[in-house]
Structure 1
């Protein structure tokens, strides 16, 4: 049964490499495609991890289905029950963490809606009183459509053109339903420690996606860069805690401003396409490898159970 342990260890170790490949692939893709690549890779790697744990957990049960007495299985692999129990406990812990994270997301969204309930506005814009500088995309909640929330201090601090950038940025978040991608990765990341780093990377690329949409909407990349930088500086000077939602003034602002000051992303060159294709292929093989390892674990247990029964 050493082979089983090797399969389980490999299946649980693969996500570390998969995350690195996903991060490198996102670095050569446009922001929109980078977000989808990170989200898809995270979900699939999390699924492969759970599949490996399920495979380990059901070893004793599969042996019983194959009509092999548990005592005979313990003779061949004495550690099967402790390892299966450990896999079961890990999956229970994962389920608890996923449920808690889900309720936390809903609670934060509810709190944000309640905190902005006194605001005034027109259409999808909601202005709340205060001198703090902040703006964020507030996703829909319980039948209410998503809103762009800005503070009165934001409107006083930014120039008219810069306000347009911030509004376009937050509307891009709502139109692209970026909160759903963020929520999915946030939930999947509790399954495996390696996946936690994806949240930061996804947050950056989501902001870049909205930055590019805002720059295109106002037709001036320098104005977009100035608006993002000014909003971030003004917000930090006010020491605002803010809401844990998608906001133009958060994240690695210097990198985002640098990207906006550069020319707009163009069609990838031949070298970039080849690099992206190679990384995408490697990532796909990594994800498929995780699933294949979990499937191989199931098949091997069936084969081993047949061999034990025959012995």
Structure 2
């Protein structure tokens, strides 16, 4: 029983702590590395949650494999079936929410392309007539390549050099395929509410990534900061990133972004630091994968051991799980 409560603790508590650590870790990294770190953390936390729920859902099934009568299981652990049913229900709800969120993404992208059909093309830029002051990166859709969509109102607001900053910013979103990172974290946030904080952090770091790319293109960080500030003050794209996949230069905490552009360019990891970072991320992925496999195997072995105890039959893993039983309780 205590072992299962430990699994529930992993589902409910660990993602909150893991998300907090990931946000702090990302804050110390250059924008590009921060985005990948947050995306990886979201996938690992969501995957771990699903793995634990899947394991709890299979407890009665594992008991049946050991030819352990369900009546006998309920005598020792009355909550076995309710726990399994709750885990199965949670998995079903997560699946429904994932499908709904994905359909929302596709619907928003379709509507954005329909709205952009009125624009006039100039290379990879679409200028849409209207009084709204807006600009965003529009990912590819059904064979159409990604475009930078700018309203004529935004064109009038910005100066020539500032327009170059805005276009470079949105092109960085498209070239870096930032919409995919945003989609992955957004979908992962459906699995566990703790991941939602990673989605908010990712928005900031994605915009910072594009800000740095734009500043590099124009070669003047102050001009880039002024352009972002002017576009945000005049912009009308409120909550644009709340509805992925439209990433806009006017979204996120703009004051922090402008302040960062007024500072020297953040130095990326070099040589040994880069290799250490890659190895660290690889080790984390390997550890989580190994942990998930060990958890699934351990759950099966624990049920087998419990079956042997209940049926009065010797178990080949009694030595190992005798220790576990002592630590976690029956």
Q: Give TM-score scaled by structure 2 length.
A: 0.86
Q: Which residue of 1 aligns with 2:303?
A: 301
Tell me if the contact between 1:135 and 1:150 (Cα under 8 Å) persists in the aligned partners: yes
1:250 is the counterpart of 2:251: yes
Provide closer, same or farther for how the CA distance between residues 233 and 294 of structure 1 changes in structure 2, counting only shifts above 3 A: farther
Q: 1:174 to 1:184 in 2, by over 3 A?
A: same
Gaps of 5+ in 2: 314-330
The correspondence of residues 114-153 of structure 1 with structure 2, limited to 5 A, is 114-153=114-153
Q: Distance in 2 between matches of 1:124 and 1:260?
A: 26
Corresponding residue number in structure 2 for 1:78: 78
Partner residue of 2:312?
310
Displacement of 1:288: 6.2
**1:88-103 equivalence runs, <5 A:** 88-103=88-103
Residue number in structure 2 paired with 1:261: 262
> Which fold has the larger relative contact order, with Cα–Cα distance below 8 Å and residues 6 or more apart in sequence?
1
Deviation at 1:151, TM superposition (A): 0.4
Q: Distance in 2 between matches of 1:189 and 1:148?
A: 27
* 1:17-37 deviation line (CA, Å, top 9, x unaligned): 110111011001110111111
> With structure 1 as the length reference, what TM-score do the two structures score?
0.91
Note the residue ranges of structure 1 that are not aligned, 5 or more in a row: none
Question: How far did 1:67 drift?
Answer: 1.1
CA contact (8 A) 2:133 2:151 kept: yes
d(CA) in 1 for partners of 2:307 and 2:146?
55
User: CA RMSD for the aligned pairs?
Assistant: 2.6
Identify if the C-alpha distance between structure 1 residues 17 and 285 changes in structure 2 by more than 3 Å, giving closer, same or farther: farther
Describe the superposition over 1:137-179 as per-residue Cα deviations: whole angstroms up to 9, x where unpaired: 0000001000000000111110000000000000000000000
